[in-house]
Amino acid sequence: MSQQIIPKPLGRLIQDFCKLPGIGEKTASRLALNILRRPQAEAKELAAALAQLHNSIQLCSCCFTFSENDPCAICGNPKREASLICVVEQPGDLLAIEKAGNYAGHYHILHGVLSPMDGIGPAEIKVKELEARINSGTIEEVFIATSSTVPGEATASFLIDFLKKKPIRLTRLACGIPMGMDIKYADKHTLARAIEGRSETR
Amino acid sequence: MSQQIIPKPLGRLIQDFCKLPGIGEKTASRLALNILRRPQAEAKELAAALAQLHNSIQLCSCCFTFSENDPCAICGNPKREASLICVVEQPGDLLAIEKAGNYAGHYHILHGVLSPMDGIGPAEIKVKELEARINSGTIEEVFIATSSTVPGEATASFLIDFLKKKPIRLTRLACGIPMGMDIKYADKHTLARAIEGRSETR
């Protein structure tokens, strides 16, 4: 298709949307055309939200989540258990755990996972900052909640090995059958982990 | 989850993304967090593309597609067949047909489909503009390419009825089995249309 047919400002927006994760050319076109069909005020609002995004958000100097304030709303909340730290890959994982609604401890955001192929070792993610928090002496439990993907598992294994000599309790997110799932549709690896991690009935 | 945990500028962007079609809260969060993790320059670029989008794009006064110039690149191209008009619902449909690469006529964008439940009748879409183009006398064929959805079919039926007395050839996009699809997976309505529309072998 001749590039002429797509107006340049529309093509530019489509290209920009294509850079976002999970947005291919078709979705990008659909979004851009939808925005074009709607009032200009909505596009301006979205533009303003994007332009201001980085300005007032920083990393919490304690847990490294995105926050407007330092310390963040969680690290600065005296009602949360400061002796318990949940280690996650990204700020989005923190939001997911907060939504679950039954975790009242603090967090530590690694900002990545170990990935030797991409040159990401322990020095590239917030591991020494985690060690410093543990060395401060107030931490009793480190709860590792990396994803159950290959790099997530590798990162968890590394952390377990790295922290095993510390005088703390090391725990991990349970792996098993998702709620509401029929056992016969679970993949064998998930089922194996669910069997391995089976718990006593009350 | 307490609203405090999501920084306000991030929450605002998530809300804005949620207004786009096919973007739910999870996708919106994923996009917004991804943008936050990347350099601010990229967010600014996307913001600028959005802010400028409506400024230089208008509707072509002939076919009503989005264009920087009037007439658009297609209506203004003397190499395209001006006697053939393809009628589509939205500018995105024009782009899809252009990608197919074997259509060399002009277009007419309806900017909607008939939907009596939503109060959208012939006066709300560009039907009288289509009639005016036909009445100008240079049109030989009107090729209706609305979607094969219920409102798309209803709009096509309306147009066929509305235009049948005009001295033009009225054609429609073929409906049938998608390329590469196994017949046994096609739904019965598609199959019925494919049988009805079967063509002579050479």
Q: Please report the pLDDT score of residue B1 as a whole number.
A: 45
B3 has a pLDDT exceeding 70: no
Q: List the domain range (segments joined by +) for residue A15.
A: 3-56
SS3 of A66-91: the string is EECCCCCCCCCCCCCEEEEEEEECCH
User: Alpha-carbon distance B76 to A79, whole Å?
Assistant: 68
Q: Inter-axis angle of helices A25-37 and A8-18, to 10 degrees?
A: 130
Instruction: Give the CA dihedral A59, A63, A66, A69, nearest 10 degrees.
Output: -70
Residues of chain A with Cβ-Cβ distance to B33 below 8 Å are 66, 90-92
Which of A38, A42, A46, A74 should be substituted to probe chain B, the one whose Cβ sees the most B Cβ atoms within 10 Å? Answer: A46
pLDDT at residue B52 in the model: 92
Query: Edge to edge, what strands does the sheet with B81-88 contain?
Result: B105-109, B81-88, B141-144, B169-172
Among the partner residues A13, A68, A91, nearest to B50 by beta-carbon distance: A13
Euclidean distance between CA atoms B116 and A41, whole angstroms? 28
Beta strand spans in chain B (E): 58-59, 66-67, 81-88, 105-109, 141-144, 169-172
Half-sphere exposure of residue A67: CA atoms within 13 angstroms, side-chain side: 20
| Co-location of B92 and B192 in the same domain | yes
- Average pLDDT over chain B reads 91
Mutate: best of A33, A38, A50, partner B, most B CBs <10 A: A50
Give the whole-angstrom CA distance, residue A55 versus residue A58. Answer: 8
Last residue of a domain, one of B29, B56, B83: B56
For residue A191, what pLDDT is reported?
A: 84
Task: Report the share of chain B in percent with pLDDT over 70.
Answer: 98
B 77-96 near A (Cβ less than 8 A): 90-92, 94-95
Domain boundary among A12, A34, A56: A56
Highest mean pLDDT (candidates A57-61, B2-6, B191-195): A57-61
Same domain, yes or no: A18 and A78:
no
Instruction: Examine the domain organization and report whether B122 and B170 are in the same domain.
Output: yes
Local structure of residue A58 (DSSP, 8 states): E
Global pTM reads 0.79
pLDDT at position A1: 45
Q: Do B33 and B84 fall within a single domain?
A: no
A52 shares its domain with A71: no
Q: Say if B66 is an interface residue toward chain A (CB within 8 Å).
A: yes
- Which of B55, B57, B98 is closest, CB to CB, to A1? B98
pLDDT in tens, B28-73: 999 999 999 999 999 999 999 999 999 989 999 999 999 999 999 9
In this prediction, residue B202 carries a pLDDT of: 63
- Same domain, yes or no: B46 and B126: no
Residue B161 lies in a domain: yes
* Same structural domain, A102 and A7: no
Nearest 5°: phi and psi at B107?
Answer: -130, 165
Residue-by-residue pLDDT tens, chain A, 202 positions? 455 789 999 999 999 999 999 999 999 999 999 999 999 999 999 999 999 999 989 999 999 999 999 999 999 999 999 999 999 999 999 998 998 888 999 999 999 999 999 999 999 999 999 999 999 989 999 999 999 889 999 999 999 999 999 999 999 888 888 888 887 888 888 888 888 888 776 6
For position B141, what pLDDT does the model report? 93
Same domain, B173 and B134: yes
Residue B187 is which amino acid? D
Buried b (16+ CB within 10 A) or exposed e, B46-73: bbbbbbbbbeebebbebbbbbbbeeebb
A100 close to B (CB below 8 A): no
A22 contact residues in B (CB cutoff 8 A): 27, 30
Whether A61 maps to a domain, the answer reads no
- Residue where one domain finishes, among candidates A32, A56, A80: A56
> Do residue A43 and residue B51 have CB atoms under 8 angstroms apart?
yes
Do residues B95 and B120 share a domain?
Answer: yes
Judged by CB atoms closer than 8 Å, whether chains meet at B56 and A9 is answered as: yes
In a shared domain, residues A32 and A10:
yes
Q: Which residues contact B41 (CB under 8 A, 6 or more apart)?
A: none
Residues B183 and B96 in one domain: yes
pLDDT score recorded for residue A202: 64
Strand partners, A144: A87, A172
- How far out from the chain centre does Cα B124 lie? 16
Residue at A44: amino acid letter: K
Q: What is the pLDDT of residue B199?
A: 75
pLDDT score for B113: 94
Structural domain includes residue B61: no
Same domain, A41 and A113: no
Q: Looking at the 3D structure of chain A, how many domains does it have? A: 2
* Lowest-pLDDT range of A192-201, B76-85, B110-119: A192-201
- CA-nearest residue to B20 within chain A is A31
